[in-house]
Chains A and B, each alone.
Chain A
Amino acid sequence: MIYADNAATTKMSSAAIEAMLPYMSEVYGNPSSLYSFGQKAKEALEDARSRVAACIGCEAKEITFTSGGSEADNQAIITAARLGALKGKKHIISTAFEHHAVLHTLDKLKKEGFEVTLLDVHSDGLITPSQVLGNLREDTCLVTIMYANNEIGTIEPIKEIGEALKDKDVLFHTDAVQAAGHLKINVKEQNIDMLSLSAHKFHGPKGIGVLYARKGIKLENIISGGAQERGKRAGTENIPAIMGMAKALEDAVSGIEDNTPRITALRDRLIEGLDKIPYGELNGSRTQRLPSNVNFCFEGIEGESLLLLLDDKGICASSGSACTSGSLDPSHVLLAIGRPHEVAHGSLRLSLGEDTTEEDIDYIISAVTDVVTYLRNMSPFWRDLTEGKRQHVFAE
């Protein structure tokens, strides 16, 4: 099997698994307990917090452990909205191609009377700091822009946006779920006020994540109850998962320098290979993208059948077609960068990992080429395109 869906989730590293085990079988005490056995777990928890903080350039007390990226996104946005409302500021800036954890939370706030400006995303999958500044208002309380897009892998100019907002009375949050562990992040240098990340995207366990919030930002509880996480996130801490995440993040961050050139070269080899398929096009900027992400649209075919046939050939991938999104419309990300519906249905995302080899890439190129050709040969849509009854969207 070739696993090319690392943007969906990753295999846990054995180091991360090893780091978790003692906290299930030996040090299983509750960190809130008074006795030394519980306090041993508490020590581990605080040690993990410091190590995670070091990975993103913040202080330990600025780290809140959550159940994952979605919860962190929810809490960051709700926090900014509540703080904004106190000052009568009820305007939020975001982008049209955020993750649904952000977009659906913003929808909820809209119903509560907040105004949301979703910035148009350029066809290369990027937004600019001047777009952000151009939409900033007196009553803007939050700018939330993803660090790297989960579907097309484009990397947004986070540092420049942070710089532009530095002296403004507005909070800047970034959903860094796809970026953490893969790109160098320093929240202080980048002027980021809040940041979300999720462990299972960098070989850590599922169900655990982090919300970084700059000192002085009073977090709003999403989960009420006990006094864990300085009273900002109730529920007994998932110590094993936290230990696994800390180890995975440390390893991922220390591996960035070695892994980036190698995975980028594999990505570019894959892009070059798939580019040879006629009437297909890469989605998103070719250079401003995650080292692991390849995303193409192919005319005349539908993504789900492409995925099923690739699965038969042992390749795990994903698509933004309506049939795979579980809704009737294709991916909002592809629509946001201006892909028409009929092209967005034929999308394919391949996300590479540290284990991907050159042989894997060559096999994927040949398998995708074969399956696209096969599906086009039975597609009346493709026939219409080749016979000139419908217009091509892409150049050959």
Chain B
Amino acid sequence: MALYSEKVMDHFRNPRNVGVIEDADGIGEAGNPVCGDIMKIYLKIENDIITDVKFETFGCGSAIASSSMATELIKGKPIKEAMALTNKAVTEALDGLPAHKLHCSVLAEEAIRLALRDYFDKNNIPYDPKDYPDPSCESCCHTH
């Protein structure tokens, strides 16, 4: 059996929504270089709808595929739905990830939430801080 599902390899080889949005309404970054993966999400939001989304990722095959899939899942969706996106949904949409790669999907969920929080902050929209992880090494379960 191959390491990754066909879907992971497809999103890794042909990542959707790679790039930068220069005038983004919200930007979120999760992970760090020491752990070996960083995801950065750029959002364009109009009338509570995510009209455009781009990502940049430093990381392994599943990190790139998770970012690509996560952006696909929230593009054109209302903020509320993007907020509700879980790493589980990303993993399922990719037809699964190897157990030691699950944290890649967690990073995608985190980066999106952080981008949304950035948007709320910029627009003085109230939110519950508990819904947002610190932009640290949250999903990284090891110490250096």
Residues of A within 8 A of B (CB): 300-305, 308-309, 312, 321-323, 326, 328-330, 340-342, 345, 378-383, 390
Asked if A328 and B60 sit within 8 Å, CB to CB, the answer is no
Residues of the B chain whose Cβ atoms lie less than 8 Å from the Cβ of A321: 36, 60
Nearest chain B CB to A101 CB, angstrom units: 22
Nearest chain B residue, comparing its CB with the CB of A328: B142
Asked if B64 and A305 sit within 8 Å, CB to CB, the answer is yes
Q: Is residue B40 within 8 Å, beta carbon to beta carbon, of the partner chain?
A: yes
Kindly name the residue among A329, A330, A380 whose own CB sees the greatest number of chain B CB atoms within 10 A: A380
Asked if A380 and B29 sit within 8 Å, CB to CB, the answer is yes
Asked if B60 and A378 sit within 8 Å, CB to CB, the answer is no
B11-49 Cβ-contact flags toward A at 8 Å (1 or 0):
011010011000000000100011111111000000000
Knowing A321-B60, A341-B144, A379-B56 touch, does A302 contact B40 (C-beta < 8 A)? no
Nearest chain A residue, comparing its CB with the CB of B142: A328
Asked if B34 and A378 sit within 8 Å, CB to CB, the answer is no
Nearest chain B CB to A140 CB, angstrom units: 32
Asked if B57 and A342 sit within 8 Å, CB to CB, the answer is no
Residues of the B chain whose Cβ atoms lie less than 8 Å from the Cβ of A301: 58
Asked if B56 and A378 sit within 8 Å, CB to CB, the answer is yes
Q: Is residue B100 within 8 Å, beta carbon to beta carbon, of the partner chain?
A: yes
Nearest chain A residue, comparing its CB with the CB of B40: A380
Instruction: Enumerate the 10 nearest inter-chain pairs by beta-carbon distance, A residue then B residue, closest first.
Output: A342-B33, A304-B60, A323-B60, A381-B58, A345-B36, A380-B40, A379-B58, A380-B56, A328-B142, A341-B34
Nearest chain B CB to A290 CB, angstrom units: 27
Residues of B within 8 A of A (CB): 9, 12-13, 15, 18-19, 29, 33-40, 56-64, 100-101, 140-142, 144
Whole-angstrom CA separation of A271 from B13 in the bound complex: 27
Asked if B15 and A342 sit within 8 Å, CB to CB, the answer is no
Whole-angstrom CA separation of A340 from B58 in the bound complex: 16
Asked if B144 and A302 sit within 8 Å, CB to CB, the answer is no
Nearest chain A CB to B18 CB, angstrom units: 5
Work out how many contacts link A and B, with CB atoms closer than 8 A: 73
Knowing A312-B13, A328-B142, A329-B142 touch, does A323 contact B36 (C-beta < 8 A)? yes
Asked if A302 and B12 sit within 8 Å, CB to CB, the answer is no
Kindly name the residue among B13, B29, B40 whose own CB sees the greatest number of chain A CB atoms within 10 A: B40
Whole-angstrom CA separation of A199 from B34 in the bound complex: 37
Whole-angstrom CA separation of A322 from B34 in the bound complex: 10
A305-B59, A323-B36 known; 7 new pairs, CB 8 Å cut-off, are A300-B58, A305-B12, A329-B142, A330-B36, A379-B58, A380-B40, A380-B56
Asked if B33 and A390 sit within 8 Å, CB to CB, the answer is yes
Asked if B59 and A302 sit within 8 Å, CB to CB, the answer is yes
Residues of the A chain whose Cβ atoms lie less than 8 Å from the Cβ of B9: 308
Asked if B37 and A302 sit within 8 Å, CB to CB, the answer is yes
Knowing A302-B58, A304-B60, A341-B144 touch, does A326 contact B34 (C-beta < 8 A)? no
Nearest chain A residue, comparing its CB with the CB of B18: A378
Whole-angstrom CA separation of A340 from B36 in the bound complex: 11
Nearest chain A CB to B6 CB, angstrom units: 13
Nearest chain A CB to B35 CB, angstrom units: 8
Whole-angstrom CA separation of A354 from B12 in the bound complex: 33
Nearest chain A CB to B102 CB, angstrom units: 13
Whole-angstrom CA separation of A301 from B60 in the bound complex: 9
Nearest chain A CB to B70 CB, angstrom units: 15
Nearest chain B CB to A326 CB, angstrom units: 7
Nearest chain A residue, comparing its CB with the CB of B39: A380
Asked if A378 and B36 sit within 8 Å, CB to CB, the answer is no
Residues of the B chain whose Cβ atoms lie less than 8 Å from the Cβ of A345: 33, 36
What would 16 A/B residue contacts be, using CB atoms closer than 8 Å?
A300-B58, A302-B60, A304-B61, A308-B61, A309-B13, A323-B61, A323-B101, A328-B35, A329-B142, A340-B34, A342-B36, A345-B33, A378-B15, A378-B18, A378-B57, A380-B29
Asked if B34 and A302 sit within 8 Å, CB to CB, the answer is no
Whole-angstrom CA separation of A345 from B142 in the bound complex: 15
Nearest chain A CB to B55 CB, angstrom units: 8
Residues of the A chain whose Cβ atoms lie less than 8 Å from the Cβ of B60: 302-305, 321, 323
Nearest chain A CB to B118 CB, angstrom units: 14
Nearest chain A residue, comparing its CB with the CB of B15: A378
Whole-angstrom CA separation of A45 from B33 in the bound complex: 53
